[in-house]
Structure 1
Amino acid sequence: MTSLLLAMAAMQVPALAEVVGQRSAVLPVAGRVENTDRLLGHDGFVGIKTGSMRAAGGCFMFQAVRRVDGHRTVITGVVMGQPGRDLVDAGQDAAARLVDGVEARLRTGGTSAVR
């Protein structure tokens, strides 16, 4: 839950939301960094952060904006520990399924809190 709260808070910072929504950015000290989020700009995904390592599995902190029943709906989430040969893809695949599931649930009258 802490990671989800962090994601929600991070996207409230305009400068951070702008940086994580770019394919690449020039950052102080680090220089140019490339965004490995292949979902960025597709199906409403607007960013946040991919990450992976064998011990942690595929992890992805994300936000997507979809139109549900005519309303702008912001879906923020975190997936962790996703298994797979390509852990970055595993995390992003899980996030895409989760966002699609939340959208489907909202369209059928579900609540906005989906766990």
Structure 2
Amino acid sequence: MCNLLRGLLTLTIPLLPKEFIGLLAIAFLVSMLTQFFAPAEQSAIPLLVEAPGLMSANALFTTTIIGSLIVGFAIGEPLLSWARSTLGDFGQELLVGGSVSHRCWNFAGNSHWRGSSLTPAPDRSLE
């Protein structure tokens, strides 16, 4: 739900007047929603991975997050410049908002994540 709201907030950017305070408000709201999403995402790892693999899973998760930030910044500017020149004045906003909304839509509708393939790891703390 948080991802969907973040995507919708991003899609509202073209509808706002081009003032800094509007972008600041959107950034604040998106960051506020992220504060609920990020801890929930991280806390799901112990449900999916058994205790011996937990350190590796946490390391892989963190490496993936940091790696995506590095790659995102590296390809972000050329991609946003292309969107502005191809799609017009609101091309950048449409690219970012559309990609976030598409990701949320696919995640919510992906039957693989709702199936039995993600059953929690057995609780062996009482053994």
Using the size of structure 1 for normalisation, the TM-score is 0.30
Q: Which has the higher helix share?
A: 2
Q: Which has the higher strand share?
A: 1
- Greater radius of gyration (CA): 2
Using the size of structure 2 for normalisation, the TM-score is 0.28
